[in-house]
Amino acid sequence: DIQMTQSPSSLSASVGDRVTITCQASQDISNYLNWYQQKPGKAPKLLIYDASNLETGVPSRFSGSGSGTDFTFTISSLQPEDIATYYCQQYDNLLYTFGGGTKVEIK
């Protein structure tokens, strides 16, 4: 099975900062990489699918890039409402795997 290594596990940044999270797959997954946001007590919400496509209704400060094994998720200007845990998710051969998550806090 494909393993996903997500880093960092947590970060603290100021409002307006650029925030970057990375996810590395244990083997080539093409662009089958998604990013989700989960706020406390809530279900995850899809933000980015297929590595770089912004889900409808999601603010443009969120973006994703990468292909193969290395992927990046960016918040261009951190807002107070972005406080959450972010997860990457890969798809390969009918199976899915989530990364370990990144908890984003305001400094």
Partner 1 sequence: QVQLVQSGSELKKPGASVKVSCKASGYTFTSYAMNWVRQAPGQGLEWMGWINTNTGNPTYAQGFTGRFVFSLDTSVSTAYLQISSLKAEDTAVYYCARGGDILTGYPKYYFDYWGQGTLVTVSS
Q: Which spans of this chain sit near partner 1 (rule: CB under 8 A)?
A: 1, 32, 34, 36, 38, 43-46, 49-50, 55, 85, 87, 89, 91, 94-101
Pick the closer one to partner 1 by CB: 62 or 87.
87
**Which residue reads 């899915």 in tokens?**
96
The distance of closest approach from Cβ of residue 39 to partner 1 in the complex, given in angstroms and rounded to an integer, is: 12
Q: Return the closest-CA partner of residue 31 out of 66, 6, 72, 2.
A: 66
Pick the closer one to partner 1 by CB: 78 or 86.
86
Neighbours of 97 (CB within 10 A): 16
Pick the closer one to partner 1 by CB: 45 or 61.
45
Pick the closer one to partner 1 by CB: 17 or 46.
46
3-state percent breakdown (helix, strand, coil) of the chain, nearest 5: 5, 55, 45
The distance of closest approach from Cβ of residue 9 to partner 1 in the complex, given in angstroms and rounded to an integer, is: 10
The distance of closest approach from Cβ of residue 32 to partner 1 in the complex, given in angstroms and rounded to an integer, is: 5
Strand bridging mode 10-13 / 102-106 = parallel
Look up residue 11 and give its two tokens. 């970060």
